Structure 1
Amino acid sequence: MDRVIEKKKWSKKRILTIAGVLGLAALIAGSIYFTSGKSKLNVDAERITISEVKQGIFQENIPVNGIVLPLTTIYMDAQEGGRVEEKYVEDGAMMKKGEPILRLSNTDLQLSLVNQETQVYNLLTQMQIAKNAARQNTITNLNQQTDVDNQLKEAERVYNLNKKLYEQKAIGLQEFKQSENTYNYQMEKKKLSNQTIDQDKMATAQQVDQATQSYQGSQNALNVMRKKVGDLIVRAPIDGQLTSLDAEIGQSKNKGERLGQIDVMSGFKVRVDVDEHYISRIYNGLKGSFTFAGKEYKLEIKKVYTQVTGGRFQVDMEFIGDAPQGIRRGQTLQIVLALSDERQALLLPKGGFYQQTGGNWIFKVRENGSGAYKVDIQLGNQNKDYFEVVNGLQPGDKVVTSSYENYGNMQELILKK
């Protein structure tokens, strides 16, 4: 007789199937856990930097580099082009105003000078000839006027005599009228002679004035030409040190080309390069400091050059007080430039963490020091040592400030000592 065999509820096959499903679920859950940002990483505490957040005095500043320059520099450009024929001094020489530095030659300019001199001499000769001719003409007119005066006197004498004789009936009317007409004629001739002399004087004066102006113009042009030729000898424009002399014998220099400069050794300034990001915050009066030979020195911005080149602009800073002893032209100084006044703030020491987080979050160390977890923060201004904390941290908090380059997307660090 057949009997019913009860089916086993927990067969081996079923158990293996359930175990496989549970294992797969655990694997998926673990994968989700470790890829969802909840991951942890064991870190050697001695290989990271832990810094404390503290309240303190904060001043926003930036590190900049500056080059020491003379307080005053006079640039020398070629006033006239030419070939370098002779150098009287070498670069670095101390010069007195007016001392020669080098000599150029320019045959075209020298030939123009000769032509201008010839033109002036010709004009001077012509002017002298014109003056002599005018003087001779004046003498001729004066001689003629003397004759006219003499003839007028004689005609007047005859007229007066005939007038008396006519009144006495000693001569006839015809003879009297003749002497009267002669007298009137000589009177008109005298007037004409006076007008001629006056016009001659005016014409002579005008001619002399025009000739003089023409000569003075040519003389001025000659003086300018002589100065141009004189400028072929380059001289020191002021007392100082000759630097950056760029001229060798046989070299051709164009008009306006830079030849060198004279540095006035009365003091120094510092030419500083600043990132264009700060151009709206840089102005005259801002101060900076640097350390030289173990002593701190102060500087102040005196001039801002707003032209931006290569993402940077320049400012000139002058020393507050005396410049350091032993400082030299061309020396590079590392300066801390203050952008604000000192104030109380929550300070976070700078570190490599900023490169990975951008200042948006940081690993905060637990009170017991066993680990550090990710917290969001907000940073404000900064200087060369600290960030200003706006939100997310409190005084006394300890945070990891070293680089996060190897931490990936870890949410928590397990600190092992």
Structure 2
Amino acid sequence: MDTKRSTRDKWLSKSKPLALIVISALVLYWLVLSPLSASSSVTVSKADVLIGEVSEQHFAESISVRGGIAPQDTVYLDAVESGRVEQVLVEEGSYVEKGELIARLSNTSLQLDVVSREAQVTEQLNNLRNTRITMEQDRLSLQNDVTELSYQLDRISSDLARNESLGKQSYISEKELADLKREKAYLKKRLAIAEERQLQNELLRASQIDQMEQSTESLKTNLAMAKRSLDNLMVTAARSGYLTSLSIETGEFVQRGSRLGQIDDLEQIKVVANVDEYYLNRIEEGQTAEAQIRGKQHALRVDKVYPQVSSGRFKVDLVFSDDAPVGLSRGQSVDLTMVLGQNREAIVVPTGAYLNDTQGRWIFVLDEDGNAQRRNIEVGRRNERFQEVVAGLMPGERVILSSYRQLGDAQHIEID
């Protein structure tokens, strides 16, 4: 009896691992393979699917973006100097000519500064004039001294020469001759000193006059700058155009550098569009675009691409290839179609919701029975209407374009 029980226990112990493997395999099949086989085919109503046809045609990649009208040239009006708005002479939206006065500001400090600088210049000019008069008087006085000393020296020299002849004949004493010689030497030294003083005075006079003239010119320059600052209180139009913005009121105090308004040239307009950064390397200057404005098609071209990316987008400027439509306002929205590539033959399939569900990796293709089979494909370029198919489809085949979200992992679709 014990022998039979021992044999049975041994058999059970060996059979348990095998039983666990079999049970695990059955559970795995039920969890994984069974749902797949159950979902490999689904049935849908013909009214719930959208069907399109694969074709071969001329194809060019394009994208649709929305832009806004903007002037090609804008001049901003900023306050060059702080001041109180005394008068606003032009209304917002008016057309202004270059140089036309738009607003008048006042600044008491600047006005007082100009008066003070004018007084400084006047005082300096008076000082320069007085200095010139004084130096001219000194020059004349020195010149008179030199002339007088030269005359006395000539007289003593003549007397000495005459007395020396008389002295040889003993008509004049030696003492008198010696006195004349000493006086001559004395006058000669005084004349040399006077001439040296005259020379130094001329040099000093020229240097001093030059310094005062430079100081006067500097004061005049400062006065001119102060007057220009005073002139900057007159807000004028830097160019002709429409005053599309003016944000000041009479009595308001504006700080230096404040934005007062802007002048736009609305005769030369452009379209500014923000494009997804995905296309940053696909858009270049000179590429074409089209816009539907008031029921008429207008051609544009890319004038400038701004490579800076902000919030996932970059800015593009487009200008009209021909005359721009009249009557467009700044900020008005325009829908654009931008062409990104050359027009060439390609196999294409209409775009649809299926592209969002499959990312262009596969598609349901209808067979002769009217049912659909899942097929892998390879896609290329895309525009608003068509998706280029590089591999996996042939012209004339029909495909399902509607959403695949409700189809799960189905490989086959039966269409009622």
Fold equivalence (TM over 0.5): yes
Instruction: Give the residue type in structure 2 aligned to 1:76.
Output: L
Matching residue of 2:20: none
Matching residue of 2:300: 299
CA contact under 8 A between 1:33 and 1:39: conserved in structure 2? no
* Distance verdict in 2 for CA 1:168–1:64, change over 3 Å: farther
Mapped to 2, the partners of 1:325 and 1:92 lie a distance apart of: 16
Matching residue of 1:9: none
- Shift of residue 189 of structure 1? 2.5
Counting only pairs closer than 5 Å after superposition, residues 215-230 of structure 1 correspond to structure 2 as 215-230=216-231
Mapped to 2, the partners of 1:60 and 1:168 lie a distance apart of: 132
* Distance verdict in 2 for CA 1:36–1:102, change over 3 Å: farther
- Shift of residue 38 of structure 1? 3.8
Mapped to 2, the partners of 1:164 and 1:86 lie a distance apart of: 97
Matching residue of 2:58: 57
Q: Is the deviation greater in 71-80 or in 242-251?
A: 242-251
Instruction: Classify the secondary structure of the residue corresponding to 1:134.
Output: helix
Give yes or no for the alignment of 1:153 onto 2:154.
yes
Could you tell me which runs of 5 or more consecutive residues in structure 2 were left unpaired when the two chains were aligned.
1-25
Matching residue of 2:197: 196
Mapped to 1, the partners of 2:232 and 2:197 lie a distance apart of: 52
* Distance verdict in 2 for CA 1:366–1:121, change over 3 Å: same
Matching residue of 1:324: 325
Mapped to 2, the partners of 1:32 and 1:139 lie a distance apart of: 126
* Distance verdict in 2 for CA 1:412–1:182, change over 3 Å: same
Give yes or no for the alignment of 1:371 onto 2:371.
yes
CA contact under 8 A between 1:67 and 1:333: conserved in structure 2? yes
Give yes or no for the alignment of 1:267 onto 2:272.
no
Matching residue of 1:247: 248
Mapped to 1, the partners of 2:305 and 2:167 lie a distance apart of: 106
Q: Is the deviation greater in 218-227 or in 403-412?
A: 403-412
Matching residue of 2:21: none
* Distance verdict in 2 for CA 1:31–1:177, change over 3 Å: closer
Matching residue of 2:122: 121
- Shift of residue 40 of structure 1? 3.1
- Offset from partner CA, 1:299-318 (integer Å, 9 cap, x none): 22222222222221112222
Counting aligned pairs with the same residue, the percent is 35
Matching residue of 1:392: 392
* Distance verdict in 2 for CA 1:405–1:193, change over 3 Å: same
Q: CA RMSD in A?
A: 2.4
TM value normalised by structure 1: 0.86
- Offset from partner CA, 1:149-168 (integer Å, 9 cap, x none): 32223223223322433455
- Offset from partner CA, 1:336-380 (integer Å, 9 cap, x none): 122222222211211111121111111111133x21122112212
- Shift of residue 214 of structure 1? 1.0
Matching residue of 2:380: 380
Matching residue of 2:406: 406
Matching residue of 1:353: 354
TM value normalised by structure 2: 0.86
- Shift of residue 241 of structure 1? 1.2
Instruction: Classify the secondary structure of the residue corresponding to 2:132.
Output: helix
CA contact under 8 A between 1:38 and 1:412: conserved in structure 2? no
- Shift of residue 146 of structure 1? 2.6
Instruction: Give the residue type in structure 1 aligned to 2:284.
Output: Y
Mapped to 1, the partners of 2:330 and 2:301 lie a distance apart of: 18
- Shift of residue 183 of structure 1? 2.7
Instruction: Give the residue type in structure 1 aligned to 2:406.
Output: N
* Distance verdict in 2 for CA 1:211–1:44, change over 3 Å: same
Could you tell me which runs of 5 or more consecutive residues in structure 1 were left unpaired when the two chains were aligned.
1-24
Matching residue of 1:235: 236
Matching residue of 2:290: 289
Q: Is the deviation greater in 62-71 or in 210-219?
A: 62-71
Aligned residue pair count: 389
